[in-house]
Amino acid sequence: MILYKNDIVKFTELVSSHTKTFLLLDENTEKYCLNVLKSVDFQNVIKIVIPSGEQNKNIGTVQHIWSQLVDNHADRKSLLINIGGGMVTDIGGFAASCYQRGIDFINIPTTLLGMIDASIGGKTGIDFQGLKNQIGLFSQPLAVVILFEFLETLPKRELLSGLAEIIKYGFIVDKSFLEAKLLSYPSYPPYPSYPLYPQFIEKSIAVKDEITRNDTTEHGRRKILNFGHTIGHAIETYLIDNHEEIRHGEAVALGMVPALFLSEKYFNLDPNWTLYYKDLYAKNFNRFNLNDIPVDELIEIMRHDKKNEGGDIRFVLIEDIGKPVYDVVVKPEDIVESINYLVDYQSDENYWGK
Ligand SMILES: NC(=O)c1ccc[n+]([C@@H]2O[C@H](COP(=O)([O-])OP(=O)(O)OC[C@H]3O[C@@H](n4cnc5c(N)ncnc54)[C@H](O)[C@@H]3O)[C@@H](O)[C@H]2O)c1
């Protein structure tokens, strides 16, 4: 159930039907986001604060959450409210779903990526042994509460990360999402709570909700949401393991370049779309120096991806805009070629004017 600001009464009713309420926050959402909820009268609330960042989406942090639940006598009628970006909603959903075989949780996403993607659809989990989301389960939140005010403190880089997932919807669902772009954005907070035209955020939420409600455990159409993720996830995993900064959406933005290249090769996608996206990327997203990235290691990471079976590496590709094809087995030599294409693009001065 997606709730907006006008549904706040419904939200308070949901909360009050539980014996005890726990709020899961990271240090930034504790600092910036709690005050947005000050009008909500939480009773018997206990805060659990975890360190922010993907490097903390791990079993150690889950243990900390479970310890806090045990120490504060959480029972099966307790509620965990996850207030944060995808890191907090992924780990909080996982911790709640395992605690005493599952307690209710509500997601209150505070990043753009969280609002339009991570908090919706019931994928919960943590990273393990250097592999993203390796441990986890499908478990639906009782509700997802969308409050755009949170975006007023969100740094531009986090916003761009969300923008990448919105643009992804342009390739797999509806061309109009390709027109999403940040409105004029100041360097310092407060940022605008509608950094994009509102329709892009609300339509994105509706798309993610519709696709995941009709395929809760990703056996079919839901797989299209992984467009750009096969190589994107591998790059994200590799860079984080090597202590380099990359946001989830930035990795997806990169991963869409080889996905389009492969779509040309496997499905004769009009090459103009790849050129169009390379321009769009250069105008919006950060450039990464990928010259030293070890392609064989990326392929090894991809082999561990949950979406693959029997050693094959599977991609979501597109035949045309809005016409995705999932479970496409791509030959390793083609994957290498597509990564080299991405690396060359990121070092092509014609695009970056430097
Ligand atoms: N479950 C899913 O379906 C799904 C889908 C996509 C991504 N994800 C996961 O989501 C995670 C990425 O999520 P994310 O991009 O939201 O990152 P994040 O949760 O790490 O948040 C990014 C940063 O912004 C800070 N922050 C959050 N809200 C803020 C606010 N309102 N103001 C100021 N700072 C704020 C956080 O503390 C953090 O430092 C990854 O772990 C990814 O795997 C999950």
The CATH number for 37's domain is: 3.40.50.1970
Residue 52 lies in a domain: yes
Q: pLDDT tens, 175-234? A: 999 988 877 777 777 777 677 767 789 999 999 999 999 999 999 999 999 999 999 999
What pLDDT was estimated at residue 130? 83
* 198 DSSP β-pair partners: none
* 72/187 Cα distance (integer angstroms): 41
Confidence of residue 66 (pLDDT cuts 50, 70, 90): very high
Residue written as token pair 């329709």 = 199
61 close to ligand 1 (CB < 6 Angstrom): no
- Average of per-residue pLDDT values in the chain: 93
Same structural domain for residues 95 and 164? no
Mean pLDDT of 326-335: 96
- Tell me the residue range of the domain where 346 lies: 159-195+216-352
Residue 341 lies in a domain: yes
Per-residue pLDDT at 354 exceeds 70: no
* 204/281 Cα distance (integer angstroms): 19
Residue 210 lies in a domain: no
Same structural domain for residues 180 and 287? yes
Same structural domain for residues 76 and 167? no
Task: Say if residues 43 and 103 touch (Cβ distance below 8 Å).
Answer: no
CA distances from 53 to 56, 88, 172, 305, 324 (A): 6, 9, 28, 21, 31
Higher-pLDDT residue of 353 and 258 is 258
Same structural domain for residues 108 and 140? yes
Same structural domain for residues 73 and 13? yes
Same structural domain for residues 149 and 245? no
Mean pLDDT of 242-262: 95
CB atoms within 10 A of CB 166: 24
Residue 211 lies in a domain: no
Ligand 1 mutation pick, 28, 105, 108, 226, max ligand atoms within 8 A of CB = 28
247 close to ligand 1 (CB < 6 Angstrom): yes
Same structural domain for residues 312 and 168? yes
Task: Say if residues 85 and 109 touch (Cβ distance below 8 Å).
Answer: yes
Q: Decide: residue 86, CB within 10 A, 0-12 exposed, 13-18 middle, 19+ buried.
A: buried
Task: Say if residues 40 and 12 touch (Cβ distance below 8 Å).
Answer: yes
- Mapping DSSP to helix (H, G, I), strand (E, B) and coil, where does residue 189 land? coil
Same structural domain for residues 121 and 56? yes
Per-residue pLDDT at 13 exceeds 70: yes
* 210/221 Cα distance (integer angstroms): 11
* 23/81 Cα distance (integer angstroms): 5
Residue having the nearest C-alpha atom to atom 6 of ligand 1:
118
Q: Which CATH number goes with the domain that contains 298?
A: 1.20.1090.10
Residue 78 lies in a domain: yes
DSSP symbols for 115-184: IIIITSS-EEEEEETTEEEEEEEE---SEEE--GGGGGG--HHHHHHHHHHHHHHHHHT-GGGGG-----
Question: Do strands 21-26 and 45-50 pair parallel, antiparallel, or not at all (unpaired)?
Answer: parallel
What pLDDT was estimated at residue 186? 72
User: The pTM is what?
Assistant: 0.94
- Complete edge-to-edge strand list for the sheet that includes strand 79-84: 2-3, 143-145, 104-109, 79-84, 21-26, 45-50
Same structural domain for residues 21 and 100? yes
**Which atom of ligand 1 lies nearest, measured to the CA of 121?**
3
123 close to ligand 1 (CB < 6 Angstrom): yes
Per-residue pLDDT at 51 exceeds 60: yes
Same structural domain for residues 313 and 234? yes
Confidence of residue 6 (pLDDT cuts 50, 70, 90): confident
Count up the domains in the chain and report the number.
Answer: 2
Residue 200 lies in a domain: no
Q: pLDDT tens, 89-118? A: 999 999 999 999 999 999 999 999 999 999
Residue 336 lies in a domain: yes
Choosing from 82, 226, 236, 247, which is the catalytic residue? 226
Q: pLDDT tens, 111-149? A: 999 999 999 999 999 999 988 899 999 999 999 999 999
Confidence of residue 30 (pLDDT cuts 50, 70, 90): very high
Residue 303 lies in a domain: yes
Q: pLDDT tens, 256-313? A: 999 999 999 999 999 999 999 999 999 999 999 999 999 999 999 999 887 777 779 9
Same structural domain for residues 9 and 135? yes
Same structural domain for residues 83 and 228? no
Mean pLDDT of 9-29: 94
Task: Say if residues 259 and 231 touch (Cβ distance below 8 Å).
Answer: yes
Choose one of 153, 183, 205: the last residue of a domain.
153
Give me the amino acid identity at 279. D
Nearest CA-CA partner of 313 in 293, 337, 329: 329
Choosing from 20, 168, 203, 222, which is the catalytic residue? 222
